Chain A
Amino acid sequence: MKTDRNTANSRNEKTTPDDVSVTVIEPASGWRLIDFKELKDYRDLFYFLVWREIKVLYAQTVLGLSWAILQPLVQIVIFTIVFGKVAKIQTDGTPYILFSTISILPWTYMSQAMTQSSQSLLQGQAMLDKIYFPRLLFPITPVLARLVDFFISMVILVAVMIYYQVSPSWQLLWLPIFFCMMASIPLSVGLWMSALAIRFRDVKHAMPFVVRMLIYSAPIVYSASSIPEKYRMIYSLNPIVGVIEGFRACLLGTAMPWQYIWPGIITSILLLLTGSLYFKRMERVFVDVI
């Protein structure tokens, strides 16, 4: 028996208030901008997604969050031996451990966040197909979640700086800029690559080794001053160069090498803009093409 007659009658009398939310579903056309209001509506979900990402990565591990320290630490030690002691790379007078710690910590963050962000849509396929929430949350989530590892790994930096008795200078006030730049790079790459990976699975195969190569594109194991002056402009278009040089100058209190930084700031802004545009454009076909 479906319903009794009483409820059937009362239903017809029920009216909807005028202030109801109306969802309009239409074919999307052309370029769309990011809907920040909608993102704000989903902030609780965003919080739980980031939190899940953090929690799940080290689930059922013995060392837990210590892995966030251990991984870069091992890399720093190896690089110090290989590039510092064996290859004797010039670092403009900075001890090699200090030199590489400052660059490897942001690099570890950027490379991990970039890789995970690029795979985020494919990995979230099951959810993508079943429920709607702003698709942007997929690539943004790992970019934020990995920041936790980054902050934990700062312990190494603090320890090394205390050991070499580097005292913080006023230059440190510039750090927020480079911090934002550091987070924007994996975000832009993630926006581009996650959307591309939906159509071309090649991204999945290319990303890990491209990221491994990228380490040599920026002054992470070597010093930027070893790049010939005539290539400096092109070299600095890579925003990773700006981030690493910026971090070094802020933390070591040396002169700010703006010539390495400006080109990178411009490219990172461009990358972020084009990435979000491309992502929003592809967004509507994700489910159909995946």
Chain B
Amino acid sequence: MSDSNTAILVDNISKRYRIGLKDDMHDSLLRTAIDFIKSPIQNYRKYRSLYVFDEKDNDSNNSSSSIIWPLRGVSFEVKCGEVIGIIGRNGAGKSTLLKILSKVTDPTGGRAEIRGRVSSLLEVGTGFHPDLTGRENIYLNGTILGMRKTEIDRKFDQIVDFSEVEKFIDTPVKRYSSGMRVRLAFSVAAHLDPEILLIDEVLAVGDAKFQQKCLNKMEDVGQEGRTVFFVSHNMLAVSRLCERVILLDEGRVQIDDESHKVISRYLCPEGGSSAEKVWSDPAKAPGDKIARLWAVRVKNADGIVKTDMDIRKDILLELEFEVLESGSILLPGLQFFNDSGLELFATDDLDPEWRRKPRPVGRYVSTVAIPGNYLSEGTHFVHVSLTTVDPYIKQFFEPNIVSFNVVDSFEGDAARGDWPYKFGGVVRPFLNWTTQYQSRT
């Protein structure tokens, strides 16, 4: 069933909860009094029923009001050394899956196998006690996370170094600032040395700088060839850390594929390409009585809608919208973000013809070309907005409406030349270099 290269094997895992703890409302004093007398028996039944299920509750498709199925038959396999992301909306089953794999809770059905030493991090600083000193909490938290005492002895100095709280290591943690506490907690977690790491996005807590540090550390962990199972809401973190992503929806695996494909599917659930968003029903389209958005498209230089864009060629962004009420000056705009969530640039439609002219009723298509050799490789997300001028009022604003990938075909004629490895930067201009040569003679 599983070969030696499998790190995590999940086979048809499902999980059921009973949530039917609804309190009855009383409409009269008498009813309240009667219920008060009867309540011990009712309460007993109610609390007893919390984990007792009968036959008809066994069917995961049967949606009884008091029973929920956060997971309904989830299966997948993770290879050793893979960094895999789990995304999905609230209630899609992400956290439940993580809790099952961490053994915090048992599955209702199915089976999972984890091969190798596992550490799970559902939060940092589990078991931290405010009355204990930093030193004592390192040992306590470390052993809670599954380290041996000897292992902590060995790594103690590194942990303290990383946390930057040497001076206060023998002070009770309750005297720490919250930032110091988080740093200490994270540095214990960062020195875990598992083969498989199950991790929740809540880990990326604290200020922006610290979040960055956490993400960097996790990236390192992934590149050391360890298996990382990363549950997150944050598309940007997922697309940065993971090669493969599983999208959960209502407790089922919806897609399991390369990260950019899954993410764009998640962002554009209607199907089709993440490079195109069309509203077929005008009533649901963004906008109001002045103007409505009809479609946003990403096209390549040949005018074809595509998700993967050649880094060397122009990328066309097309906005189709309808003006329903004449007389307003309109300013369509786009904002571009990379997969780390950094806003790269914004651009507004400054077409000289329409820039200062009230627009009559009708359909408009605005297109902007982003030059080739401009954006860096990776996934880019586009926010779309339409503003009326004088006064400035946003008619609609649609974040992450389309996304596309900039891909380098490694033919040596883009900015990376023949360099085959990581090539940094948020933009990738292809610049002219000049060389002056003087021979030695």
Contact = CB atoms under 8 A, between A and B. Distances in A.
Contacts of A48: 139-140, 143, 149
Contacts of A47: 143, 149
A129 B98 CA distance: 12
Interface string B108-142: 11111111111010110011010110001001100
A284 B50 contact: no
A229 interface: no
Nearest to B13: A25
Contact of A26 (B4, B107, B132): B107
Interface in B162-207: 172, 195
B112 A130 contact: no
A52 B50 contact: no
Interface in A21-69: 21-28, 44-45, 47-49, 52, 55-56, 59-60
B126 to A, nearest CB: 5
Contact of B243 (A2, A6, A45, A199): A2
Given A44-B148, A130-B123, A3 B99 contact: no
Interface in A249-290: 284-285, 287-289
Contacts of A127: 126-127, 144
Interface string A128-160: 111111000000000000000000000000000
A132 B51 contact: no
B143 A55 contact: no
Given A23-B114, A26-B111, A132-B104, A1 B422 contact: yes
Given A20-B117, A59-B172, A132-B102, 13 more contacts: A12-B81, A16-B5, A23-B114, A25-B101, A26-B110, A27-B106, A47-B149, A48-B143, A52-B140, A126-B126, A127-B127, A131-B102, A199-B50
A16 B81 CA distance: 10
25 contacts: A1-B423, A2-B240, A3-B243, A4-B422, A8-B243, A16-B5, A16-B195, A20-B195, A22-B115, A24-B111, A25-B114, A26-B106, A26-B107, A26-B112, A44-B148, A44-B149, A45-B144, A48-B149, A56-B129, A131-B120, A200-B44, A200-B47, A284-B105, A287-B99, A288-B51
Contacts of A10: 225
A125 to B, nearest CB: 12
B340 to A, nearest CB: 10
Interface in A164-220: 199-200
A7 B225 CA distance: 8
A7 B223 contact: yes
A28 B222 CA distance: 32
Contacts of A24: 111-113
Closest 3 CB pairs of A and B: A59-B131, A132-B103, A11-B81
Given A2-B240, A289-B51, A131 B131 contact: no
Given A1-B423, A28-B106, A45-B144, A199 B113 contact: no
B102 A289 contact: no
A53 to B, nearest CB: 10
Interface string B7-35: 10000010001000000000000000000
Nearest to A18: B4
A3 B140 contact: no
Contacts of A288: 17, 50-51, 105
B331 interface: no
B290 interface: no
B276 interface: no
A131 B116 contact: no
A288 B111 CA distance: 18
Nearest to B52: A285
B104 A60 contact: no
A130 B105 contact: no
B421 interface: yes
Contacts of B154: none
Contacts, number: 154
Contacts of A128: 104
B101 A44 contact: no
Interface string B57-92: 000000000000000000000001110000000000
Interface of A: 1-8, 10-12, 14-16, 18, 20-28, 44-45, 47-49, 52, 55-56, 59-60, 126-133, 199-200, 284-285, 287-289
Contacts of A132: 102-104, 120
Contacts of A289: 50-51
A285 B104 contact: no
B100 A45 contact: no
Nearest to B107: A27
A23 B106 CA distance: 13
A130 B126 contact: yes
Contacts of B139: 48
B421 A6 contact: yes
Contacts of A1: 377-378, 422-424
A118 B28 CA distance: 38
B131 A56 contact: yes
A248 to B, nearest CB: 38
A285 to B, nearest CB: 4
Contact of B48 (A5, A23, A199): A199
B420 interface: yes
Given A5-B420, A130-B126, A11 B225 contact: yes
A131 B50 contact: no
Nearest to B101: A25
A6 B420 CA distance: 9
Interface in B239-264: 240-243, 259
Contacts of B424: 1
B243 A131 contact: no
A107 B220 CA distance: 55
A15 B108 CA distance: 32
B243 A4 contact: no
A186 B132 CA distance: 26
A3 B220 CA distance: 10
A14 B115 CA distance: 14
Contacts of A287: 99, 104-105
B160 interface: no
A132 B81 CA distance: 23
B375 interface: no
A239 B115 CA distance: 46
